[in-house]
Structure 1
Amino acid sequence: MPVFAFDVIFQHDNGLPEDRYVNGWHFSGAGPFSPTDYDNVRDMLADFYTDAGTHTNALSLYFTDEISSPAVVKAYDLSDTPPRAPVYESTFTFSPPSNSPLPFECAIVASFEAEKVSGLPQSRRRNRVYLGPLSDNTVATTGLINGGTTTAIVGALQDLWDAADTSVSWDWVVYSPTLDSSYPVHNGWCDNAFDTQRRRGIGATSRTSATF
């Protein structure tokens, strides 16, 4: 079945194109697809970030309010010839808290993979998204990610899997560009250590100097 890449794009309040934060997801379906079918994936992804679902808090409550609502969702048909034009674009709103931000390079990794099989490297059957920019309410006294945050992320992954499982049009998949193959998502996890994404850092706004 055709595979579609869905990018969820969060924009820094400064509006600069280089200060966008993108999470990439993949879904497959037989098609042909109507705008309502694409809306279905947008709604699943919006719920991943904004709906508490079966867990305690919505993930957007762990983001910084230095990013602007709405988030943008763009879909690309991976069977199209690169560079690909989006086949769909929409938005969803979210409400981050007014807490102090962590450095914008800080991210939390949500990982998910296909079922293990013999003969194929599992690294090519695994995807991840880097969640953030983050608020300081994600930090435990140990300096690691607190348990409430990791529980919310794993709960959101479960709810996304459940929503895709009941969809009549779409399957949530892991996609390997190396193999140009997709596989149904089987399980997911979130470790309690922060990740550093240097490309997400914003530029300096001032410089303090000394002459010696």
Structure 2
Amino acid sequence: MPRVTAQVILRTADLIPANYVTNTYHFSITTDDPINSLDDITDEVATALTDLYDDIRSRLGGMAQTGHRIKFTDIDEPRPSFPYKEVVFDFTGATASGALPSEVAICSSFEGDPIAGTNQASRRGRVYLGKIAQSALASDNTGTVTGAALLVIQQAFEQFAGKQDQAGFSGWIWTVYSPTLDLMAPVTSGHVDNAFDTQRRRGIEATSRLVWTYSPGG
């Protein structure tokens, strides 16, 4: 049963690659049938991921509308491994023009069912959504995510999970992958809360600097 990663790369409106937003998902491909190839099933995963991000598009800001990418890699290929498939996708509409700082993210968490004798931390995963639209910031001075934004994200991930084909030999399963244990846990639940997250690695490069000096007696 093939195991793959999907690296989703969203282009920011400034089109500077260093500022793009990247998240990684893991999947178990349930086909060993040559009629339903890995490439074909990957297309189904790509469609589901594209729909997921289009569903949350209204809560993103400062992003390009076109040219986003998904890179698929086979986990079990020898290292170094390279993507066996790349998919380019577009949003069906524009994101908000106003965005919170690039470091600000909303964390969407997910996990598999607990198993006795297994540390549940190895069965949990998360993605950090961004850039976030200014409208997702509550107006009550609490500094939290609006209930409307939470609902959009919660419903989008629930619908994404519902698109899995776990029944037959020609589908895909969304999983949490533990590199330490080299095991995959099917995702069965998830949540998003109203506390913003900070991803410092997403901070943009400075484009301006003002300097001051101290002059004794000045």
TM-score, normalised with respect to structure 2: 0.88
Question: What CA distance in whole angstroms lies between the structure 2 residues aligned with 1:19 and 1:68?
Answer: 15
Alpha carbon RMSD of aligned pairs, Å?
A: 1.7
Which structure shows the bigger proportion of residues in strand conformation?
A: 1
Contact 2:60 2:96 in 1 (8 A): no
Contact 1:10 1:68 in 2 (8 A): no
Structure 2, unaligned runs of 5 or more = none
Question: Equivalent of 2:199, from 187, 197, 200?
Answer: 197
Question: What CA distance in whole angstroms lies between the structure 1 residues aligned with 2:65 and 2:94?
Answer: 9
What is the identity, as a one-letter code, of the residue corresponding to 1:115? D
Contact 2:74 2:84 in 1 (8 A): yes
Partner of 2:83: 86
Partner of 1:143: 143
Question: Equivalent of 1:104, from 86, 92, 102?
Answer: 102
Matched ranges for 1:2-17 at <5 A: 2-17=2-17
Per-residue displacement from partner, 1:149-186 (whole Å, max 9, x unpaired)?
11111111110111014674111111111111001111
Question: What CA distance in whole angstroms lies between the structure 2 residues aligned with 1:16 and 1:60?
Answer: 20
Contact 1:63 1:96 in 2 (8 A): no
Question: What CA distance in whole angstroms lies between the structure 2 residues aligned with 1:123 and 1:35?
Answer: 31
TM-score, normalised with respect to structure 1: 0.90
Partner of 2:23: 23
Structure 1, unaligned runs of 5 or more = 51-57
3-state SS in 1 of match to 2:82: coil
Q: How far apart are 1:143 and its partner, in Å? A: 1.2
Question: What CA distance in whole angstroms lies between the structure 2 residues aligned with 1:145 and 1:14?
Answer: 25
Q: For structure 1, which segment, 120-129 or 86-95, has the greater mean C-alpha deviation from structure 2 after superposition? A: 86-95
3-state SS in 2 of match to 1:24: strand
Flag the structure with larger Rg: 2
